[in-house]
Amino acid sequence: MPQLNPNPWFTILLLTWFSFSLLIQPKLLSFITTNPPLNKTLPTKPTPWTWPWT
């Protein structure tokens, strides 16, 4: 069963992982986001509802 032979596939996996880690990822992380998050204040607590039957 060739699926159990990890010889060529493990090498391909490692090469793919290293190429992503060392080449592609730094290029992707260097981009500036087009819509940066704003400094939002925390929402205030809403006032409790006054029920008419209490």
- The whole-model pTM stands at 0.43
Q: Give the model confidence (pLDDT) of 2-13 as tens digits.
A: 567 777 888 889
Token pair, residue 8, equals 């060529």
What pLDDT is recorded for position 1?
47
Confidence of residue 52 (pLDDT cuts 50, 70, 90): confident
Average pLDDT, the chain: 79
What pLDDT is recorded for position 3?
66
What pLDDT is recorded for position 15?
92
